[in-house]
């Protein structure tokens, strides 16, 4: 370029001599891998380590560990609530939140179906539901019979592969997948979470299914019983489906609404507030009328349907969003089907099945005027965002627990020091003498321990639902793709004015973050020794 600069005049103009910017000043690169005698001393490295640790401690003042509010709404895209005229909702785990005891009931019932109807060994009855074993978003390799956590780039997270209830060594996993921890695209889940050999468990109801799969695998392995993993997967899946199809879960909830339905008063407050602000409401759920009616009466009152412009039950999502062939059918006050052709959708009436294309034609509710909330990223949100341009809100109950952990002193200090230590390792790996390599080896070991610690705080087996050691999870990738906003429950809407605008934060790309450590925990301008290290990046 001009003047002999490889960067050209634009680079030179960006470097102000009056106010030098870190990384702007051009320094000669070192001629070889040895930066000098001083750097060969392990005392030099430990000095940098000690001063960085002190700096990290100073940059975490009291109170920094309670910055995140679990009742906040988090945005992936900018969205103005004042532009939203119509609010839509799923029912299960959106309007109705359920207690964890429901998962125990599902697990026990499906286990009994396996023993009684599929003639599985009665020894399975020794296994009880473990509510803290699995997390949502995991993948299951149907052919190999293993449960695993995969990141946004299709890599299996080390230490999170389970055959039965036992972790598999990383070396065995790599050998099983022909020398890699990468799962090819053609083996991964499709648009709705199902692939030729992989299934991703995205539904909150899938937690007991993952646990039962692992328990049955564990029993067969420990008792030396030969089995086809594909048959086992299908049997467990069918047993879980039977619990839902036969209405067993609905009967449990209807029999004790107080025990199973949580925070119903918050649901009423949200719906009432939206209506009072002139918003139109609709409900699209796969659940049957009688079940929804009982739950809504419990949470909102007998006149709950007066709040909604439309109520659609047994919609059969996600095909509701893609299949034009199923017409709407009207239900009478008792929930019985009517036979007349539907030419309009009337306020206060109940409808069954149907499809989104007729819904759009009959209501005219299109595009960004509509905001729909659901808990299932595939069945509830994906088609609406990608094909129809609705705004979408994901309900992620796990947020509440995860944020409570992030707000602890142990997590905040651990992850901040992990970032700082990673920055030290990256910058000081140029020291190749034997003593320095021993020091760097100790740092690598400490980094692994910190990574394991921060994972185990969320879940000892699989860690956080949102990230692997450093990458987002595959679940997070889908969450950011299919939802404009996400929150722990719809009650979070009560914390915001109906005209509020959500602004997503600009998060740095790898090439935008100076000396990467570092922007998370210290702010790069406060990092010591930057001048002597600037040539590295």
Q: Which residue has the tokens 């649901």?
A: 267
**Is 90 considered catalytic here?**
yes
Say which DSSP state 371 is in.
E
**Is 92 considered catalytic here?**
yes
From the number of C-beta atoms within 10 Å of its C-beta (0-12, 13-18, 19+), residue 497 rates as: exposed
Lookup: tokens for 291: 């079940």
Query: How many angstroms separate the Cα of 207 from the Cα of each of 201, 214, 243, 472, 516?
Result: 8, 11, 14, 20, 36
| Residues 479, 74 contacting (CB under 8 angstroms) | no
Longest dimension (CA), the chain: 90
| Residues 393, 371 contacting (CB under 8 angstroms) | yes
Q: Measure the CA–CA gap between 110 and 121, rounded to whole angstroms.
A: 14
| Residues 65, 409 contacting (CB under 8 angstroms) | yes
Annotated ligand binding at 375? The verdict is yes
Strand order in the sheet with 146-148: 166-167, 162-163, 146-148, 139-141, 198-200
| Residues 267, 95 contacting (CB under 8 angstroms) | yes
Query: 155 has which bridge partners?
Result: 182
* CA-based nearest residue to 282, from 342, 397, 362, 377: 362
Query: 182 has which bridge partners?
Result: 155
Lookup: tokens for 346: 């009337």
Which of 90, 203, 380, 518 is labelled catalytic? 90
Annotated ligand binding at 306? The verdict is no
Which of 34, 83, 92, 340 is labelled catalytic? 92
Q: Residues within the annotated binding site for Mg(2+)?
A: 90, 375
Catalytically active residues are: 90, 92
Q: Residues within the annotated binding site for GMP?
A: 92
Q: Residues within the annotated binding site?
A: 90, 92, 375
């Amino acid at each position: 370029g001009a003047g002999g600069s490889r960067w050209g005049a634009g680079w030179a103009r960006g470097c102000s001599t009056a106010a030098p910017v870190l990384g702007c000043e051009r320094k000669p690169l070192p001629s070889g891998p040895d930066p000098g005698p001083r750097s060969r001393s392990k005392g030099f490295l430990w000095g940098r380590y000690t001063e960085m640790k002190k700096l990290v401690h100073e940059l975490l003042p009291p109170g920094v560990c309670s910055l995140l509010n679990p009742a906040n709404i988090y945005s992936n895209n900018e969205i103005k609530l004042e532009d939203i005229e119509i609010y839509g909702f799923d029912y299960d785990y959106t309007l109705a939140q359920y207690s964890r005891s429901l998962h125990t009931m599902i697990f026990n019932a499906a286990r009994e179906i396996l023993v009684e109807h599929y003639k599985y060994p009665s020894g399975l009855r020794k296994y009880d539901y473990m509510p803290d074993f699995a997390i949502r978003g995991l993948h299951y390799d149907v052919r190999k019979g293993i449960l695993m956590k995969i990141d946004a780039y299709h890599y299996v997270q080390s230490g999170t592969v389970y055959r039965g209830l036992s972790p598999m060594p990383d070396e065995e996993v790599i050998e099983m997948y022909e020398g890699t921890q990468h799962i090819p695209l053609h083996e991964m889940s499709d648009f709705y979470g199902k692939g030729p050999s992989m299934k991703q468990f995205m539904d909150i109801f899938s937690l007991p299914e993952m646990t039962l799969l692992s328990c049955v695998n564990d029993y067969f392995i420990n008792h030396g019983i030969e089995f086809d993993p594909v048959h086992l997967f299908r049997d467990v899946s069918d047993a879980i489906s039977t619990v839902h199809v036969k209405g067993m879960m609905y009967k449990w909830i209807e029999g004790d609404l107080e025990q199973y339905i949580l925070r119903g008063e918050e649901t009423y407050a949200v719906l009432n507030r939206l209506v009072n602000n002139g918003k139109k409401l609709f409900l699209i759920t796969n659940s049957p009328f009688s079940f929804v009616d009982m739950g809504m009466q419990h949470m909102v009152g007998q006149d709950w349907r007066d709040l909604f412009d439309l109520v659609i039950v047994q919609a059969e999502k996600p095909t509701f969003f893609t299949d034009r062939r199923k017409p709407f059918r009207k239900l009478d006050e008792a929930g019985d089907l009517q036979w007349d052709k539907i030419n309009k959708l009337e306020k206060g009436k109940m409808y069954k099945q149907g499809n989104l294309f007729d819904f759009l034609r009959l209501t005219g509710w299109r595009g960004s005027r509509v905001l729909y909330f659901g808990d299932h990223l595939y069945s509830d949100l994906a088609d609406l965002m990608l094909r129809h341009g609705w705004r979408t809100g994901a309900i992620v109950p796990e947020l509440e627990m995860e944020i409570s952990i992030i707000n602890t002193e142990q997590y905040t200090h651990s992850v901040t020091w992990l970032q700082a230590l990673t920055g030290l390792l990256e910058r000081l790996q140029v020291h190749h003498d034997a003593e320095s390599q021993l020091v760097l080896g100790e740092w690598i070991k400490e980094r692994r321990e910190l990574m394991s610690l921060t994972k185990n705080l969320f879940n000892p087996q699989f860690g956080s639902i949102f990230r692997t050691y450093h990458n987002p999870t595959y679940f997070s990738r889908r969450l950011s793709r299919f939802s404009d906003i996400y929150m722990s429950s719809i009650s979070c809407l009560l914390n915001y004015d109906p005209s509020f605008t959500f602004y997503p934060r600009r998060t740095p790309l790898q090439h935008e973050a100076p000396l990467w450590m570092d922007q998370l925990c210290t702010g790069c301008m406060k990092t010591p020794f930057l001048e002597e290290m600037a040539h590295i990046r």
